[in-house]
Amino acid sequence: MLIPGAEGPKAPGGKVGRVSSARPKIGVLALQGNFREHVAVLRRLGAEPVEVRKAEQLQGLDGLIIPGGESTAIARLSSIYGLEEAIRRFTGPIFGTCAGMILLDRDHLGLIDIHVERNAYGRQVASFEADLALDGEQEPLRGVFIRAPRVTEAGQGVDVLAELDGEPVLLRQGRFLVATFHPELTDDTRVHELFLESVREASLVRS
Ligand code: GLN
C-alpha cells in the first residue's frame, strides 16, 4: 500500500498527478547501522527520507526512525552530536528497530516504558528468522532477528502488536513503535506502513 497522495513526480514508478507536499518527511538517524535500508523502504512507500546526523536536521520532520546497529555506538555518537536531547524534544512519531528500540527504552532515552535485555538470545542463536503473527493480519510477518534484544518488561500503556513464542517483538506506546527485529531487511513493508499511518494521523491532528 502506498500513502494516498504520496507520490510526487519523482516517486518510484514515475506515477504522476498527485500532490508531492503530501509526502511525509521521515528522518532516519544515520550515525551507524542499517539506516540505508530504512531509507530505501521509505522511498519505496513514497515517503521522503532524510538522513539525520545533526540535531537541527530534526526540524520540520514528520517522523523519525532509529535503526538497528550497535546501540552502544549509536548512543555514544548521539550524545557527542547533541542528538539525545534533540530526540527527547522531538514531538513526532518515532520508530526504533533493534538497537533503535534499545535507545528508546527506560535505561536510555526513557521515551518508551519497556525494559530491554540486550543480545538476549545468546551466541548459538544470535541470528535467526521466524514467522510472526501480526495483530489484525492473516498473513504472517517474516522477522529477521540479529543479535536481538528481548523486552523483559513492558508498562501498562504499551500494546503488543506481534509476538514470538509468547514474547513481545513489536510494541507500541502512543507515538512510539519498536521492533526487536529488522523489518527493513525483508520485502514486506507492513511495519513501515504501520509507522507511516501513525505519522499521517499525527499530522492530521496537528493541522
Ligand atoms: N546487539 C545490538 C545491540 O545491543 C542490537 C542488534 C541489532 O540492532 N541488530 O546494540
201 is catalytic: no
CA distances from 158 to 17, 32, 44, 88, 110 (A): 40, 27, 29, 18, 13
Longest CA–CA separation in the chain, Å: 52
Give the pTM: 0.89
Give me the catalytic one of 7, 37, 48, 184: 184
Query: CATH no. for residue 18?
Result: 3.40.50.880
182 is catalytic: yes
Query: CA quadruple 201, 38, 136, 176: dihedral positive or negative?
Result: negative
Inside any domain, residue 30: yes
Q: Answer whether 75 contacts ligand 1 (Cβ < 6 A).
A: no
Kindly report, residue by residue over 28-87, the tens digit of the pLDDT.
999 999 999 999 999 999 999 999 999 999 999 999 999 999 999 999 999 999 999 999
Inside any domain, residue 113: yes
Q: Which residues contact 39 (CB under 8 A, 6 or more apart)?
A: 28, 49, 51
Kindly report, residue by residue over 102-125, the tens digit of the pLDDT.
999 999 999 999 999 999 987 766
Q: Answer whether 183 contacts ligand 1 (Cβ < 6 A).
A: no
Inside any domain, residue 6: no
98 is catalytic: yes
How far is 92 from 50, CA to CA, in rounded Å? 14
> Which atom of ligand 1 is found nearest the CA of 74?
10
Secondary structure (3-state) at 139? coil
Residue 3, pLDDT score: 52
Task: List the residue whose alpha carbon is closest to atom 2 of ligand 1.
Answer: 70
- Min mean pLDDT across 2-16, 50-64, 92-106 is at 2-16
Contact 118, 70 (CB under 8 A): no
Inside any domain, residue 128: yes
Kindly report, residue by residue over 154-184, the tens digit of the pLDDT.
999 999 999 999 999 999 999 999 999 999 9
How far is 96 from 29, CA to CA, in rounded Å? 10
Number of domains in the chain: 1
Which range marks the domain in which residue 198 is found?
12-206
Inside any domain, residue 188: yes
Inside any domain, residue 7: no
* Model confidence at 1: pLDDT above 90: no
Inside any domain, residue 5: no
Secondary structure (3-state) at 135? coil
Inside any domain, residue 3: no
